[in-house]
Amino acid sequence: MMKRFLPVILVLGFLALLIGGCSVGGYNNVVRMDEDVEAAWAQVENQLQRRYDLIPNLVETVKGVAAQEKDVFIGVAEARNQFNQANSVNEKAAAASMLERALGRLIAVREDYPELKSNESFLKLQDQLEGTENRISVERGRYNETARDLNAYIRAIPGRIWASLAGVDKAEYFEVTSEAANEAPDVDFST
């Protein structure tokens, strides 16, 4: 009698192992994707912090030449403060846009002060800032790509199940507000 049920027991055992393996694999996949999103966001924040750290040096260099541009300096300080207080992806994106506009105004001051055009410290800081802006753009794209992958996975079955079991939510995209995109000044880095 036991011999008759042995194939059934083996098939059921195999199916249980298969389902268990798929479950573990699906769960681990959503956890890995969530970690990828976190790592990509950390790289965006790393580059935003780099820009944030460059700003005081740039401001001090410009202040030495163009002390009467008080409104520009206040705008940059306010933008840095807002960035420092931002917590979520959307808040960071809005603060980054505000910071970009403030930096554009700061760089534009250069046109009114020929001595800035030849100031080596200013030119080096400009180059570093331009490189940082490029890095931010690249990391922003990478972050949005990993967020898209995670979001697509957890919108489908069985990803939705694994995401709910792992406590993983949809990732926010790093989007520049349309207001910021429309108001972004042209920044000319040529000498």
pLDDT in tens, 112-133: 887 877 788 888 888 999 999 9
Contact in structure between 77 and 23 (CB atoms under 8 Å):
no
Q: How far apart are CA 100 and CA 84, in angstroms?
A: 14
- Per-residue tokens: 69: 């541009």
At a CB cut-off of 8 Å and minimum separation 6, what does 132 contact? 47, 50, 51, 54
pLDDT in tens, 7-31: 888 888 888 877 877 777 888 899 9
Q: Which domains does the chain have, with CATH numbers?
A: 34-183 (1.20.1440.20)
Residue whose pair of structure tokens reads 């790093």 in the numeric block: 174
The total number of residues written for the chain in this structure? 191
Q: How far apart are CA 66 and CA 73, in angstroms?
A: 10
Indicate the pLDDT class of residue 191, thresholds 50, 70 and 90: very low
Helix (H) / strand (E) element for 170: namely none
Q: Provide the CA 9 distance to its chain's centre, in angstroms.
A: 52
Global pTM? 0.74
- Per-residue tokens: 114: 């020929």
pLDDT for residue 163 is more than 50: yes
Residue 1 has a pLDDT of 64
